Structure 1
Amino acid sequence: MHKGPLFLALALWAKGAHAQGIEAWQPPTLTTVRYDEDWYRLADPDERTGRWTERFKYVPLDEDAAYLVTGLELRARNENYRANLWGGAEAPDDEYLWLRALPYGDLHLGRFRAFVQPVAAYAIGVAPSASPVDRTGIDLLQGFADVRLGPGRTGDTDGLGVTVRVGRELMSFGNERLIGTRYGPNVPLAFDGVRAIVSLPGAVVSLMDKQPVRQDLGSFDDRSDRRRRLSGVYASIPHGAGELDLYWLRYRNSAATFEDGGGRETRYSIGARIEGTAGNWHWDTEGVFQYGRLGASRIRAWTGSVEIGRRFPNAELSPDALVRLSVISGDRRAEDGRLGTFNALFPRGKYFGELSPLGPANLITFTPRLTLTVAEPVKLALAATGYWRYTTADGVYDIPGNLIRPAGGSRARTIGQEIEASLSWKLSPELEISGSVSAFAAGAFLRETGSHRRIGMAAMETNFRF
């Protein structure tokens, strides 16, 4: 194959780096969105290790740097619930199996790119019936085209340039508090629309105009959700051993519902997040302020989250301990023309853990967590979380933002306490087996307003991905 200027430049850089003692290139970390993984360095035979997956990660098509990247995820997950929603669910004692396949193809043609990822997602045994989060048959999860304007090629995030993306994609920003892939449940959440990814010296800025995809239960029937729209700007600025995120988002929903009422919602979110490491310390903190209107009511809501952790690499089992505090606003007074309930928009699935009956609205949470390396491929995580209502005038919500327990006149703040243990075993770079057990004990608010049995959940998952 003809070695073009870019290829030769990469080769010279690599030789110079080795000569200076710089570490050799490492394959990219597998992500949930998949399109962020850059495998172009495998064009150099010297960068290959001989692992069987490399033949699928860089498939040359001609002499002009055209190549194809392929991959696959196969996941089976079993979940068992006892007293789901504290006994208030339609089928509180439920056991089901999720099956999911996510193949993809990523075609690069210099400044142009086409990415396609179908999904096949099925559920067995969900009672009383499967929802669009459980199954979607066979459908298009991601399908978009990129064009790179300016220096570089598609996938570049260094230097000055713009990548214009049109189509359907998963999006993951920051810690996925506002925009996430919903990867934990069986059917991830995608968005239709356009996004411009601007790479600047020292920053990457996304400008987007998107609509979430509304999944249906059949095959090839997923469509844009015309009721909801997301637009805005999200900037990521690396700094030292961390990153600073700054963003402004506009969200519209023509049929929103909260305890304080419903109607057409137009909500703006201004936020900042900073995460990083220093020695064995690591942290992640984020704050968001929201304003706008819900019908005739003004929106004034906010959230703040602080996470601080420390690793002890020389201690037995290499513990990693952290504490996390989150405060998320709720509505203080009904029918006062002002809505204080925070809207997390499109947050990550399994928000507070494997068992997450509550979503990020009208909450105060405190979580200590300890992760232990039992053996090099086996990790054990232990966590406990306390949940309180931020304001007693508002109820509690699930992760999508649906009201699941109205305030009901209760003045109690304590919602409950949750404990969870999870174990993961990385058998190979491609295969992981994990499991978890969780319990949620109801507090005074749940006892005063309805069903309040202890929730129990056990889950097992096998994930093969390359």
Structure 2
Amino acid sequence: MRLALLAALVLGAGATPALAQQHEAWQAPTLSITRYDEDWSDLSDPEKRAHHWTGPLKYIPLGDDAWLSTGIEVRARSENYRNNLWGSAQAPDDSYLWTRALPYADLHVGKVRAFVQPIIAYAIGVQPSAGPVDETGVDLLQGFGEVDLGPVTLRGGRQMLSFGTERLIGTRYGPNVPLAFDGVRADVHRGRAILSLIAFRPVRSGTVSFDDATSYMKALWGAYATMPGLDLYYLGYENRDAVYAGEHGREERHSLGIRSHGTASDWNWNVEGVVQFGRFADKRIFAWTMATEVGRSFPAAPMSPRLLLRVNAASGDGQAGDRKLGTFNALFPKGKYFGELSPVGPYNIINMNPVVTLTPARDITLGLAGMAYWRASRGDGVYDIPGNLLRAPGNATARFIGKEVEASLAWQATPELELSTSFSVFAPGGFIRETGPAHPITLLGFEANFRI
């Protein structure tokens, strides 16, 4: 099959990769969000490079034990809001276009590697003005050097990070400008286990060209171990100007996490728990989260339905003004956390999210999801995905934040191009009605994503 070389596309945030086999039992790598994870070294065979028009771009021989891989992603996304943030946003009715291009070059010379990925990202029509997640002009998204020392791989420079299901460290791929970090990483391999040791600072993106810079207010460090079916990790975090309930102070937080995931027959599961401790200003931190995901596929049924149920809980603060802080901090989570419309983030929340996915044709995917959100603690408010307080608790007594439905449709038009659309409605609950404007939010999205 001549198109099999790039049939393993992952296009759009949260998409599930599908691998297609080529003759001679060779498989193309999965095209990933973190493009540096792709391994095209097998295309050193000229016959394999000839199977698809992109083959000569994915492996360019440069001499003895030296080769270059190139590629690009070009995405255009239109988002159309009504009553954003339940009508309390500066521009509650807003329609805009995000555009971005992410070319890359991956140079291999023996055991040494250099990876460079610029970003070109602009927004049209964002009201009242575009922010750092909307546009960054022309800048460096990733640029790092790497050396393979056998059981240890060392990497230093600017890079995107993705661990687990990106509940605490993610790429922020859904918005227009992904998140990158400056620092060093060491991956220690032993059999099928990998221990990643990290020390990073997030990149603070700006809205004009060549103004992205290392943030010296925040830091991330830790160790993340992955084994078959199990992740164990410790993450340290510092924010020199954190804000909780209007109080500013230095935050140092430590997260201990465990994640179990796997498949058995047509079932799959993904369960993760985290406890956090540390200090914020003069307060002692103790917080936690628990996230569960259980799915069942029916491959023999019409349209191959897949059912999924997610239940998440994240702690909130119990009482304002005391010497304890109970609000969970999701650190650097994935964008579009609960779906295309995600006005609330994983802080002080209990969330239930059933999902049905259908495949009416080989290249078409239809999804329908429902979400319901409650406050975990009445003493705390509602936050957005980056962790900014949207609604303070005030005198509100209601726990229910609201409910949401979302429908999505994706068409893999070619192995390189995916077209998708989604429609979401968020109906506010008692807490939103008690604390300010409470209009239903709607979001209509359209996206075209081309990737090689």
Distance 1:47 1:298 in 2: 58
How far did residue 49 of structure 1 move? 5.9
The answer (yes or no) to whether the contact 1:363–1:390 under 8 Å persists in 2 is yes
Specify whether residues 59 and 93 from structure 1 end up closer, same or farther in structure 2 by C-alpha distance, changes over 3 A only. Answer: same
- What is the DSSP-based 3-state SS (H/G/I as helix, E as strand, rest coil) of the residue aligned with 2:434? helix
How far did residue 274 of structure 1 move? 1.3
Greater shift, 333-342 or 361-370, is seen at 333-342
How far did residue 57 of structure 1 move? 0.7
Cα shift readout 1:303-342 (whole Å, capped 9, x = no counterpart): 0011101000010110000111001100011122110000
**Larger-gyration structure (1/2):** 1
Distance 2:24 2:243 in 1: 53
The answer (yes or no) to whether the contact 2:49–2:56 under 8 Å persists in 1 is no
For the pair 1:221 / 2:211, whether they are aligned, the reply is: yes
Distance 2:106 2:49 in 1: 19
In structure 2, give the amino acid aligned to 1:74: V
For the pair 1:407 / 2:393, whether they are aligned, the reply is: yes
User: 5+ residue gaps in structure 1?
Assistant: 1-21, 151-160
Distance 2:81 2:46 in 1: 50
Distance 2:421 2:35 in 1: 24
Cα shift readout 1:152-202 (whole Å, capped 9, x = no counterpart): xxxxxxxxx111111000001000000000000000000001111111112
- What is the DSSP-based 3-state SS (H/G/I as helix, E as strand, rest coil) of the residue aligned with 1:35? helix
The answer (yes or no) to whether the contact 1:260–1:335 under 8 Å persists in 2 is no
For the pair 1:94 / 2:94, whether they are aligned, the reply is: yes
In structure 2, give the amino acid aligned to 1:114: A
| 1:15 matched residue in structure 2 | none
| 2:120 matched residue in structure 1 | 120
In structure 2, give the amino acid aligned to 1:79: E
Cα shift readout 1:37-58 (whole Å, capped 9, x = no counterpart): 0111111245446111111111
| 2:177 matched residue in structure 1 | 187
| 2:193 matched residue in structure 1 | 203
| 1:139 matched residue in structure 2 | 139
In structure 1, give the amino acid aligned to 2:85: L
Specify whether residues 49 and 386 from structure 1 end up closer, same or farther in structure 2 by C-alpha distance, changes over 3 A only. Answer: farther
The answer (yes or no) to whether the contact 2:141–2:158 under 8 Å persists in 1 is yes
In structure 1, give the amino acid aligned to 2:210: F
Cα shift readout 1:328-374 (whole Å, capped 9, x = no counterpart): 10001112211000000000000000000001000000011000002
Distance 2:246 2:257 in 1: 24
| 2:225 matched residue in structure 1 | 235
The answer (yes or no) to whether the contact 1:255–1:262 under 8 Å persists in 2 is yes
What is the RMSD of the two structures over their aligned residues, measured on CA atoms?
1.1
In structure 2, give the amino acid aligned to 1:244: L
The answer (yes or no) to whether the contact 1:344–1:360 under 8 Å persists in 2 is yes
In structure 2, give the amino acid aligned to 1:212: P
| 2:72 matched residue in structure 1 | 72
| 1:13 matched residue in structure 2 | none
In structure 1, give the amino acid aligned to 2:413: L
Distance 2:238 2:411 in 1: 42
How far did residue 23 of structure 1 move? 7.7
The count of residues paired between Structure 1 and Structure 2 equals 430
Matches within 5 A, 1:41-440: 41-48=42-49, 50-62=51-63, 64-150=64-150, 161-238=151-228, 243-259=229-245, 261-440=247-426
Cα shift readout 1:382-427 (whole Å, capped 9, x = no counterpart): 0000000000000000000000100011110000000000000001
Distance 1:259 1:322 in 2: 35
Distance 1:57 1:415 in 2: 48
For the pair 1:36 / 2:44, whether they are aligned, the reply is: no
Give TM-score scaled by structure 1 length: 0.91
Distance 2:157 2:123 in 1: 27
- What is the DSSP-based 3-state SS (H/G/I as helix, E as strand, rest coil) of the residue aligned with 2:238? strand
The answer (yes or no) to whether the contact 1:260–1:331 under 8 Å persists in 2 is no
- What is the DSSP-based 3-state SS (H/G/I as helix, E as strand, rest coil) of the residue aligned with 1:42? helix
Distance 1:378 1:118 in 2: 31
- What is the DSSP-based 3-state SS (H/G/I as helix, E as strand, rest coil) of the residue aligned with 2:235? strand
In structure 2, give the amino acid aligned to 1:372: L
In structure 2, give the amino acid aligned to 1:294: F
- What is the DSSP-based 3-state SS (H/G/I as helix, E as strand, rest coil) of the residue aligned with 2:263? strand
How far did residue 262 of structure 1 move? 2.9
Distance 2:48 2:285 in 1: 53
How far did residue 261 of structure 1 move? 3.1
Specify whether residues 121 and 61 from structure 1 end up closer, same or farther in structure 2 by C-alpha distance, changes over 3 A only. Answer: same
- What is the DSSP-based 3-state SS (H/G/I as helix, E as strand, rest coil) of the residue aligned with 2:328? coil
- What is the DSSP-based 3-state SS (H/G/I as helix, E as strand, rest coil) of the residue aligned with 1:61? strand
The answer (yes or no) to whether the contact 1:320–1:370 under 8 Å persists in 2 is yes
The answer (yes or no) to whether the contact 2:365–2:411 under 8 Å persists in 1 is yes
The answer (yes or no) to whether the contact 1:330–1:363 under 8 Å persists in 2 is yes
Distance 1:277 1:316 in 2: 22
Specify whether residues 49 and 311 from structure 1 end up closer, same or farther in structure 2 by C-alpha distance, changes over 3 A only. Answer: farther
The answer (yes or no) to whether the contact 1:170–1:190 under 8 Å persists in 2 is yes
- What is the DSSP-based 3-state SS (H/G/I as helix, E as strand, rest coil) of the residue aligned with 2:431? helix
The answer (yes or no) to whether the contact 2:345–2:384 under 8 Å persists in 1 is yes
- What is the DSSP-based 3-state SS (H/G/I as helix, E as strand, rest coil) of the residue aligned with 2:118? strand
In structure 1, give the amino acid aligned to 2:117: Q
Distance 2:223 2:435 in 1: 41
The answer (yes or no) to whether the contact 1:260–1:334 under 8 Å persists in 2 is no
Give TM-score scaled by structure 2 length: 0.94
How far did residue 25 of structure 1 move? 2.3
Cα shift readout 1:99-131 (whole Å, capped 9, x = no counterpart): 000000000001100000000000000000000
The answer (yes or no) to whether the contact 1:425–1:434 under 8 Å persists in 2 is yes
In structure 2, give the amino acid aligned to 1:412: A
The answer (yes or no) to whether the contact 2:371–2:404 under 8 Å persists in 1 is yes
Distance 1:23 1:398 in 2: 49
Specify whether residues 23 and 445 from structure 1 end up closer, same or farther in structure 2 by C-alpha distance, changes over 3 A only. Answer: farther
- What is the DSSP-based 3-state SS (H/G/I as helix, E as strand, rest coil) of the residue aligned with 2:128? coil
Distance 2:387 2:338 in 1: 14
- What is the DSSP-based 3-state SS (H/G/I as helix, E as strand, rest coil) of the residue aligned with 2:211? coil
How far did residue 140 of structure 1 move? 0.2
